[in-house]
Structure 1
Amino acid sequence: MQDRHELVQAYRQLYKQALRACQYSKPSRYVMRDRIRNAFRHGRSEEFDKGKVERTVMFLRHAASHRGLEHTIQKNLCHVWWERENKVREHGDRRSCVLSGFIRRSDIRELRKHAYAEFDRTIERLNESMGLCIK
């Protein structure tokens, strides 16, 4: 039962600090909520590391209290995650097709599929180097 209690406490701490870090702004708070929920619902309990959660909470606390590097990183992560989800929901961006009239929709979908690979690798490296659990 202690495991479940620790998971609930970790979820609450992460969510509370994430809301403070994004300053309760409308798209960011929903992005952070969905990302944290998804990580706790679909993540395995064997992957849970209390130290990583504590360092991530500290990172978010610094993002909330100072307008420094942590705040900028958090803000940019939320923006990219929000854009990524919007593009997935949209099933094709009319604006990009109009601007690039000669590119087929299937090519645009293929580009979008691989566009975030470097972004994901950068987040993995950030997690490794700082011992965080940003997903």
Structure 2
Amino acid sequence: MAVSQHELIQSYRSLYKSLLRAVQYSKPSRYIVRDRLRNAFRNSNPEEFEPSRVARTIEFFHGASQSRGMEHKILKNLVHVQWGRNTPPRKTLLREDTAQARNAAYKEFDQTVEMLNESMGLCIK
């Protein structure tokens, strides 16, 4: 089923608004979620778009913005890990074995996020 450009734009805007509310417009977090959302929409295939997953994801972010429960903690950790990925390591940590350990940890983290998406029907990238 083909998805119209209007539906994609509306989904992007809804996700972005709910993400900003969930991170409470805090400075480093809002830029991280903006960049991740842009990247996800630019690099995704429009045929894989599922409005039901987007609706559940918006509901998840709404829950994160309403209380400091499990949704808030998950989103906070997702943003923190993404911030760590974007931040270059210090000179003392530039050893090769450290880089391999970081890559292995991020691989495990990505697999955990994928399992979360599958089990809850979300589209967090």
Report how far residue 108 of structure 1 moved. 2.1
- For the 8 Å contact 2:3–2:46, the answer to whether it is kept is no
Report how far residue 106 of structure 1 moved. 2.1
Report how far residue 112 of structure 1 moved. 1.9
Residue 20 of structure 1: aligned partner:
21
Residue 108 of structure 1: aligned partner:
98
Amino acid at match of 1:52: R
- From 78, 90, 93, give the equivalent of 1:96: 93
Report how far residue 27 of structure 1 moved. 1.1
Q: How many residues in Structure 1 have an aligned counterpart in Structure 2?
A: 124
- What is the CA deviation profile of residues 48-80 of structure 1, one whole-angstrom value per residue up to 9, with x for unaligned ones? 100000000000011001111101111111001
Residue 46 of structure 2: aligned partner:
45
- What is the CA deviation profile of residues 109-134 of structure 1, one whole-angstrom value per residue up to 9, with x for unaligned ones? 22222221111111001000000000
Residue 69 of structure 1: aligned partner:
70
1:133 partner SS: coil
Amino acid at match of 1:45: P
CA distance in 2, matches of 1:56, 1:94: 38
Report how far residue 36 of structure 1 moved. 0.5
Change (3 A) 1:2 1:111: closer
TM-score by length of 2: 0.93
Structure 1 vs Structure 2 CA RMSD: 1.5
TM-score by length of 1: 0.86
Residue 8 of structure 2: aligned partner:
7
CA distance in 2, matches of 1:2, 1:37: 18
Which of 1 and 2 has greater Rg?
1
Q: Give 5+ residue unaligned stretches, structure 2.
A: none
Q: Percent identity?
A: 55
CA distance in 2, matches of 1:62, 1:112: 30
Runs of 4+ in 1 over 4 A off after TM superposition: none
- For the 8 Å contact 2:57–2:122, the answer to whether it is kept is yes
CA distance in 1, matches of 2:73, 2:30: 15
Q: Give 5+ residue unaligned stretches, structure 1.
A: 98-104
